[in-house]
Amino acid sequence: MQFQILIPTYNRAVILEKNLTSLLAEIKKCNLESAIGIVVSDNASTDETFPVLNKLIPVFSDAHVDFQVYRSDVNTGLEGNGVYILGKATAEYVIWLGDDDFLPEGFLQYTVNKFKTENIGWMLAGAIAEYSDGSRADTYHIPYDEKKFEKGYETIWSVSHIGHKMSGLVIKREGVLESYLSKPEWRNIYLYIHFLVYNQVKYPGIVEAKYKVLVNTYNKKDFTYNTIGLLDEVFKSYNYLIDTYGLKKVIRLILRFIVLHSYRINFKSGLSSLLKQWKMIYKSYQFGDQLKWGLLKLLLKEYVKQNIYLPLFHSSKKNK
């Protein structure tokens, strides 16, 4: 068994059963029973999640697909469950999947083939967001179907930000958890960014945008955003790269992430509100003095873009 699909879960009985049934059908259809197993970690669910998982054990056994179920007696949070389930994995590669997200048809076969024929240590799938009204939209707007990236900083600069979504992330497992746990002060709920960049330092990889994970946006999540959009959590995952690339280059990566995920910051409440957010962001960071002026320049540029340039641009188009 070369791959394991890792599914941390909490209170998702109905949709999780649908997801697992779909995965089993895909594994059987592609004759991947000996190549792919599934591990599920129930984070002390209070609904029927655990009984549903136990009901499925003989179903997977009859299909000769390795299926492991674990349960915590106490809810350890999103990050704790991610650490726990990775610690239970034994395969060379792991495929991360949210309990209410669905892998596209053909992705598993494609993944097995690519890791067999290419010298890679990581892969990222595209994503389609599904909203409560049933509408869908491409999440990343990646302008290619497939692209191979070499290992190193330029790749991390280009695509590591996609790692904030765990579903569709495939990584080589060796050494990842040990590296993450080596810095307890940097543990965070965006640990998947670290899992990705750890491998991007070491190995080439592929962004596979043709296969898009269906990502649920409306189910209740096991976390909430703070006043700075959890950017302080994201920063911690990039801190692990300081020993490899130095603080200056890590701050460049952090600023890059903020640019690409500016939705986490409120630019519509006026300049004074933006400056308050600026202070909260840089003061939340361990190395905030090195971040603050570059951050301020970035935020002011985005503020002008969203509140002056874009309204003028749209107004001029309407008047033509």
pLDDT at 320: 59
**Whether residue 206 sits in one domain with residue 242:** no
- Structure token digits, residue 5: 């699909």
**Whether residue 274 sits in one domain with residue 202:** no
pLDDT at 96: 99
Residues with Cβ within 8 Å of 227's Cβ and at least 6 positions away in sequence, in order, are 277, 280
- Average pLDDT of every residue of the chain: 95
Model confidence over 145-188: pLDDT tens digits? 999 999 999 999 999 999 999 999 999 999 999 999 999 999 99
pLDDT at 85: 99
**Whether residue 68 sits in one domain with residue 35:** yes
pLDDT at 314: 64
Percentage of residues in the chain having pLDDT higher than 90: 90
**Whether residue 206 sits in one domain with residue 66:** yes
**Whether residue 235 sits in one domain with residue 212:** no
User: How far apart (Å, rounded) are the C-alpha atoms in residues 209 and 115?
Assistant: 16
User: How far apart (Å, rounded) are the C-alpha atoms in residues 210 and 207?
Assistant: 9
| Residue 131 phi, psi (nearest 5) | -105, 170
**Would 225 be classed as within a structural domain?**
no
**Whether residue 124 sits in one domain with residue 266:** no
pLDDT at 163: 95
Please tell me the total count of domains within the chain. Answer: 2
pLDDT at 43: 98
At which of 165, 191, 216 does a domain end?
A: 216
Residue with token string 């290992």? 151
Largest CA-CA distance found in the chain, in angstroms, rounded = 66
Model confidence over 33-45: pLDDT tens digits? 999 999 999 999 9
Q: Which domain holds residue 289?
A: 231-319
Model confidence over 47-56: pLDDT tens digits? 999 999 999 9
For the segment 63-88, the average pLDDT, to the nearest whole number, is 98
Residue 313 pLDDT exceeds 70: no
**Whether residue 201 sits in one domain with residue 249:** no
**Whether residue 235 sits in one domain with residue 201:** no
**Whether residue 269 sits in one domain with residue 127:** no
| SS3 sequence of 282-303 | HHHCCCHHHHHHHHHHHHHHHH
pLDDT at 220: 79
Model confidence over 240-285: pLDDT tens digits? 999 999 999 999 999 999 999 999 999 988 999 999 999 999 999 9
**Whether residue 166 sits in one domain with residue 126:** yes
What's the distance, CA 282 to chain centroid?
Answer: 23
pLDDT at 312: 66
pLDDT at 309: 72
Residue 136 pLDDT exceeds 70: yes
User: How far apart (Å, rounded) are the C-alpha atoms in residues 48 and 222?
Assistant: 17
**Whether residue 81 sits in one domain with residue 116:** yes
Model confidence over 201-233: pLDDT tens digits? 999 999 999 999 999 988 877 778 888 999 999
**Whether residue 236 sits in one domain with residue 151:** no
pLDDT at 310: 66
Residue 316 pLDDT exceeds 90: no
The CATH number covering residue 96 comes to 3.90.550.10
**Would 226 be classed as within a structural domain?**
no
Q: Which residue has the higher pLDDT, 134 or 15?
A: 15
First to last CA, the chain: 61
Percentage of residues in the chain having pLDDT higher than 70: 97
What length is written for the chain? 320
